[in-house]
Structure 1
Amino acid sequence: MIPRWLRNSFPYLAIGILLAGLGYAISFGQLEPADFTYNNGAEIKTVDPALATGSPEGRIINGLFEGLLRNMPTGTEPDETNSIPLRPVTMGMADTFEISEDGKTYTFHIRESATWSNGDTVTAEDFRWSWQRMLHPETGSEYVYQLYSIEGALQYNTGAIELGEIVEVEHGERQTKTELFPRASISRGKLVAHGTWSAANGVVWAEASATDSASGSHGHGDSEQEGDTPIEVYKVTVYSSDHILDELDLSGDSHEMLFIKHTDDQEIPESIAGEYTRCFHVLPDFQSTVGLKVSGSDQRILSVQLVEPTPYFLDLVAFYPLYPVHRKTVETHGAMGWTKQENIVTNGPFLLHDRRIRDRIRLVKNPMYWNAKGVSLEIIDALSVESDTTALNMYMNGQVDWLTSLPTMIMKDLMPREDFVSAPMLASYFYRLNVDQKPLDDVRVRRALNMALDKAKITERVSKAGEIPARSYVPPGLAGYDGYQCGEFNVKEAKRLLAEAGFPGGEGFPTMRILYNTNDNHQAIAQVIQQDWKNNLGIEVRLENMEWRTFLSNVSETQFDIARAGWIGDYPDPNTFLDMFVTDGPNNQTNWSNQQYDELIESAKTLRGDERLKALSDAEKILMEEQPIIPIYYYVSKNMVSDRVKGFSANIQDVHPLHVLTVEDK
């Protein structure tokens, strides 16, 4: 039965919600009951740590996999905001680690009891290979920049090579097109020359040192006549190497090879077919240029050399994109097949037992996990219910133990309840603006859109859980950091800016689209913004919702005018927010670029203390003045947690490790 207070809050939804709840009850009846059930929201895109980006994916991956360290609640008493701090601790695959005095070398020791779910030993090489896979340009990891603090990682990922440097050349002999990484056979040697071949000019070698571009690593573009687009060619002195991990002996036997980067189905041009070998990639030699080294007779020691001291590096190591994957499984089943339920091998506290699209993911306890005796839950169901109202009904009926998102329309009724768990978060809700779309390419328009929004109305009437209206992107509360604020709510100034941009009273302004993923809260917020822009500026926007996977795809390809977004800090530092918007950053997704901004973010990597924070604050000033994004509010976590669940604690990143939870019998 739906409680009276809930029914009174939205009587017009009661019948529909009840029917939805019954639908899930039927689905529940087909499976053995889970010990713990939570609503994960949207259908996840992937469980590949290197490719995932969202919170729904993160919750699953944190159960299936484990990194060197884990971000765990500290065990201290909650602070005045009811939040318990998180910190990276040695409760992962590493049981100890050391940091050098200069802060640039980290040495991790893999625990002897660490195993994969198939019984294989977890080694430091698993991490080295997984991080190389993440860095490889063809993997396309959106979180790849998390590894850029490692020596040589940026150059490897972007394919930056210079004449005279040691390179690795991947031959063009993959068995299937679905193979991305793992790769074909590798030749290693010194880059002697780099140039281009075209039908008109033949081979032309560059006189100066050349920089390769990973973005051009897939052969030439379409053309009506073969050779219209130059194709890259390389001359490499290749040295013998028994193994890709061996140090390259430059005094040993060598021979010269010519390569042509010609990766499509066309044949090598007949004029050079006998001389040149097809290749997929020419990259810096990973083993000799990237600061990752494996040692120890049992390969249990991983040494990481950083470019500069990075105060938040341990937080990065504890973040799920840096979790290892099982190499043999990836190589056997390929990029598209290794994460399937019947193939996947994991190293975390749980196994992927079942996945039903738009229904649930079922996790079961992993008996091979190094601390299996410390894991209480045997079966977990993560439901894919996008409607917050439907999920709340299921919670009230006892079908769900934890809600990760709540309907805004009754938030004021939920907040006083003892099972409502909330705390301020290191997270921002914002809108991305595609600055390549006219008239969003005009900064005056972007500023007008921001200043025409009554953000307090959104937090008071829509989200209603104590969120703070935002005028900066970086949330408050980071020690020593003073962010920069964008324009406040000012309809008069917003109208003036819009008129100055050529749209007085909204006249001539094209109808634009606000894109959001299917969710009651996102829809309600978009409706308020739609109305504010219409009333205050005289412009029309239409709303378009998409399921999670399609939404992510559209945003990553900037196929939108305006798109809703949210960002939870990966670690407690302003950089986790600001480095997103460097030019061509994988999480930029606005097409915005500013050289001075890029330089400030880069300079912060080598600065310390107040100077570093000042550089980041100056960067945020540029971001807020240019406004490729509109900050809306700072999140607070909003969870409903059954009183039978123990070990659940509010924290600034809203991270709740499943393996530390326990439940009392229903």
Structure 2
Amino acid sequence: MKRSKEFLPILCILLFISCGSGNRAPDAVDISRKDTLNINIGTEPPTLDWSLATDVTSFTIIENIMDGLAAFDGKYEPVPALARSWRVSEDGRTYTFKIREKVLWTDGVPLRAGDFLYSWKRILKPETAGSYAYFLFDVKNARKFNSGEIKDFAKVGVKAPDEHTLIVTLEKPRAYFLSLVTFMSTFPMRKDIVERYGTRWTEAVNIVTLGPYRLKEWKHHKEVLIEEYEGYWGEKPKSAKKVKMIMNENPVSTLALYESGELDFLDSKGIPLLEVPRVMKLPDFKQSVVFRNNYIGFNTKKPPFDNPLVRKAFASSIDRKSLAGLLQGAGMPVTSWIPIDMLAHNPRIGISFDVQKARKFLEMAGYPGGENFPKTAFLYPDTGNNRIVAEAFQSMWKEHLGIEVKLVNQEWTVYLSTLRTDPPPVFRAGWQADFPDPHNFMNLFECGSGNNRTRWCNPEYDRLVEKAAGILDRGQRTDLYNSAQRILTETDVPIVPYLNSVQQNMIKPYVKGLEPDRLNFLYFSRVEFVNHFTSGER
């Protein structure tokens, strides 16, 4: 009976979308008075502490209220940001950054090189348990400090000889290092603020930042409001002086909000699958392939998924083409790990859909026809279209392997915590590029990676990935990554890549500068509100 009560409001929303959408009037917005961009981020950000954040929701906010030593230009090349310049030693191991003067935090305190020193030390400290600590392992002795082998941070290759100089020494030359310092885990941080407020230092009343926006309000599980930081050192926001981010996990009601004019932008998680064929005909609809791969992960320490044959059986039973169709074009089938159009992407690597092979692998593992296979649960986050994907996997494993898999969904923050502390035997996950280099994907599954939820460790894989990271020749790097990818997706199979994401967005015609790109970054300061008229409406 309870279900019937829930059906009425949902029906009303569906009728509103299908019948009311014809009354869309984008040019009715008074652009001259509009100063707020309204979007949906879907879920509560797990944290705004950039030493701890690992998810896209948190990153969307952090990247707009903070800056790094460098930033990407339109061609994804690192250019100066908080560092006004840098010098690289002849051997490629030492970077000397000159920090901009007169950069002020939102409380008026000047930025100092020591703020980077504190931030890097904090994320590397073992007790911080920063999942992105491994991002700094290229820095001399950083890995040893993080593991506890070295206690004295002074031995780590990062120094601040004066207030406006930061010197970083690497273990080996790394061509991608300047891309690393565009990312949030390397952003500066104020020691006095963190120590004064403890775990509440990221609340709006406490946090200090130095990006183009400042955190004005954080109404937990409801909305976040950021506003222009008038003391920002760089280019000021063009039109969006404020950005209001609601947290709505229901794509049906989110699309209704967009079509009623209450939202200016939607991404894939705000567009119901059944509505995609309709909205993709609208001029608001935009889509692009992004550097993001989705995968099934196995906890390789938990039976029976400690057996590679079982993992191969599950991998061989996945029909990626049908998944892509189910998602209305929101993904492209892949079997290898490095994303489409990135260096070393190789569609010939990985395990393809083959029911006979899947059943043979399962029989070899000792479970013919799924007989006596242990009860298994599949974990997925309760966001967007993940339930539909999870049900598809469940059906495939039942049909092709004879295995009943229980589906378990968790709220986004809880899901991330589960993967971090005690990953289940099988789970759904994904990885969005932090910078456009294959190392960002391949080092994710190294033994020491804080984001490796599979508990898998293969020293030969690590050796290949690290060797590729130190080579500039694209052909040699590709060969090494090919060998590593075969270990990852064909031999050991701790993960099963299945779809490369295609970001589908709805963007109001009067919003410019928010078009999707390969990294799927949203820089709100670039947004412009422009007059828009359809033919005959002037």
TM over 0.5: yes
Report the alpha carbon displacement of residue 416 of structure 1 after superposing the two structures with TM.
3.0
Q: Do the aligned partners of 1:365 and 1:375 also contact (CA within 8 Å) in 2?
A: no
- Structure with bigger helix share is 2
Partners in 1 of 2:423 and 2:295 — Cα distance?
17
Report the alpha carbon displacement of residue 623 of structure 1 after superposing the two structures with TM.
0.7
Instruction: Give the equivalent residue in structure 2 for 1:597.
Output: 461
Q: CA RMSD in A?
A: 2.3
Instruction: Give the equivalent residue in structure 1 for 2:274.
Output: 409
Instruction: Give the equivalent residue in structure 1 for 2:153.
Output: 286
Cα distance per residue 1:272-331 (max 9 Å; x no partner): xxxxxxxxxxx0x222x22212234xx112121112111111111001111111221112
**CA shift in 2, pair 1:112/1:466, >3 Å:** same
Partners in 1 of 2:485 and 2:494 — Cα distance?
12
Report the alpha carbon displacement of residue 12 of structure 1 after superposing the two structures with TM.
9.6
Matches within 5 A, 1:194-593: 283=151, 285-287=152-154, 289-296=155-162, 299-334=163-198, 336-371=199-234, 373-405=236-268, 406-461=271-326, 463-465=327-329, 467-479=331-343, 482=346, 485-593=349-457
Report the alpha carbon displacement of residue 337 of structure 1 after superposing the two structures with TM.
1.8
Partners in 2 of 1:553 and 1:664 — Cα distance?
42
Instruction: Give the equivalent residue in structure 1 for 2:64.
Output: 63
**Is 1:638 paired with 2:504?**
yes
Q: Do the aligned partners of 2:117 and 2:160 also contact (CA within 8 Å) in 1?
A: yes
Q: 4+ runs of 1 displaced by more than 6 Å?
A: none
**Is 1:621 paired with 2:471?**
no
Report the alpha carbon displacement of residue 374 of structure 1 after superposing the two structures with TM.
4.6
Q: Do the aligned partners of 2:237 and 2:524 also contact (CA within 8 Å) in 1?
A: no
Instruction: Give the equivalent residue in structure 1 for 2:110.
Output: 121
Match of 2:86 among 97, 105, 108: 97
Q: Across the two proteins, how many residue pairs are aligned to each other?
A: 507
Cα distance per residue 1:76-103 (max 9 Å; x no partner): xxxxxxxxx433222x212222223332
**CA shift in 2, pair 1:140/1:491, >3 Å:** same
Report the alpha carbon displacement of residue 119 of structure 1 after superposing the two structures with TM.
0.4
Please state whether the residue corresponding to 1:638 is helix, strand or coil.
Answer: strand
Report the alpha carbon displacement of residue 357 of structure 1 after superposing the two structures with TM.
1.8
Q: What amino acid does structure 2 have at the position aligned with 1:291?
A: G
Partners in 2 of 1:505 and 1:442 — Cα distance?
17
Q: Do the aligned partners of 1:483 and 1:617 also contact (CA within 8 Å) in 2?
A: no
**CA shift in 2, pair 1:357/1:579, >3 Å:** same
Report the alpha carbon displacement of residue 358 of structure 1 after superposing the two structures with TM.
1.7
Q: What amino acid does structure 2 have at the position aligned with 1:392?
A: L
Match of 2:127 among 138, 145, 148: 138
Report the alpha carbon displacement of residue 412 of structure 1 after superposing the two structures with TM.
2.5
Partners in 2 of 1:365 and 1:392 — Cα distance?
27
Instruction: Give the equivalent residue in structure 1 for 2:25.
Output: none
Please state whether the residue corresponding to 2:127 is helix, strand or coil.
Answer: coil
**Is 1:154 paired with 2:143?**
yes
Report the alpha carbon displacement of residue 356 of structure 1 after superposing the two structures with TM.
1.3
Cα distance per residue 1:420-471 (max 9 Å; x no partner): 222111110111111222211111111111111111000012x222522111
Report the alpha carbon displacement of residue 16 of structure 1 after superposing the two structures with TM.
4.7
User: Is the deviation greater in 55-64 or in 502-511?
Assistant: 502-511
Please state whether the residue corresponding to 1:304 is helix, strand or coil.
Answer: strand
Partners in 2 of 1:382 and 1:404 — Cα distance?
13
Please state whether the residue corresponding to 1:422 is helix, strand or coil.
Answer: strand
Q: Do the aligned partners of 1:484 and 1:620 also contact (CA within 8 Å) in 2?
A: no
Q: Do the aligned partners of 2:298 and 2:495 also contact (CA within 8 Å) in 1?
A: yes
Q: Do the aligned partners of 1:110 and 1:301 also contact (CA within 8 Å) in 2?
A: yes
Gaps of 5+ in 2: 1-6, 18-32, 533-538
Q: What amino acid does structure 2 have at the position aligned with 1:644?
A: Y
Q: Do the aligned partners of 2:423 and 2:453 also contact (CA within 8 Å) in 1?
A: no
Instruction: Give the equivalent residue in structure 1 for 2:12.
Output: 15
Gaps of 5+ in 1: 1-9, 21-31, 75-84, 162-282
Q: Do the aligned partners of 1:503 and 1:509 also contact (CA within 8 Å) in 2?
A: yes
Report the alpha carbon displacement of residue 42 of structure 1 after superposing the two structures with TM.
1.5
User: Is the deviation greater in 418-427 or in 525-534?
Assistant: 418-427
Please state whether the residue corresponding to 2:131 is helix, strand or coil.
Answer: coil
Q: Do the aligned partners of 1:483 and 1:620 also contact (CA within 8 Å) in 2?
A: no
